[in-house]
Amino acid sequence: MRTVTTRAELEQSLAQLPRPVALVPTMGALHAGHVALIAAARRAAATVVVSVFVNPRQFANAADVARYPRTLASDQQLAEAAGADLLFTPDADQIYPPNEPVAMIEPGPLATRLEGASRPGHFTGVATVVSRLFDLVRPNEAYFGAKDAQQVRVIEWMAAQRSDQISIHRVTTVRDGDGLALSSRNQMLSASGRVAAAKTIPVALSLIAEAYASGVTSVAMLRTLAERVITAEPSVTLDYLDFAESATLVPLSESAQIGDAAPGEVLVSLAAVVDGVRLIDAITLP
């Protein structure tokens, strides 16, 4: 595996590598969830490119950017072991050159609710950086985690607006032994915060899945089951627990039944704050 930091090095390396090319965009602090993305890309493509870039345009403030974990040495080892051919680790000037104005990318209709409402401008930053990476790497396909459910749908929408027909693939969420979805943000949790997150967030979603499997289809009843778990833990602050049609993210009303969603699949997404760290998770029903 080769590590490159500039656009020129990236272009030179890509010219020597076979196609098709798969891209795995990351912000670093790689973990087993990223390994799953790289492995999926490795099975499908001749060349796998992993990018590591903490994108300032998707954060609310500079302090959040500075706080994000950076573990480049271990990222290099993990990416190579997982099968990456090229690791692209640019600085901000390579993605957003001072002498080249970079237009912000419209994130589309799926970006208005949930994370879009809680974090104004977040998905504009996400769509912009992913579009920039697509322009630089020119991949045939790209891989994203299903945990970031709204993000992957926004990126699918954005990719569909482009002329290069990049295929977007969702990879199943990887969970730790305590059920918590793997996330680079987990590194910022205290020991007690980690315990609190694990006994609420995945448990709440599991309760919803189990109740639905046993025949409970009422949105209101499923919400009550989940919220009871989360509100019982004072160190966890729930931002939203949302039931929506999976493809369009149109919300289901409290009086709705799960089967009321037009194509049948419902996305249940959750965001909560623990130790000042925002964590998200999601499942689909059925």
| Catalytic residue list | 34
Amino acid at 271: A
* Token code pair at residue 152: 């992957």
**Are the C-beta atoms of residues 171 and 40 closer than 8 Å to each other?**
yes
**Calpha distance 135→254 (Å, rounded):** 42
Tokens linked to 43: 């099975």
Cα(25)–Cα(141) distance, integer angstroms? 11
Residues 252 and 245 sit within 8 Å (Cβ to Cβ): yes
Q: How far is CA 193 from CA 7, 180, 199, 248, 280, in A?
A: 39, 12, 10, 33, 15
SS3 content of the chain, % helix, strand, coil (to 5): 45, 20, 35
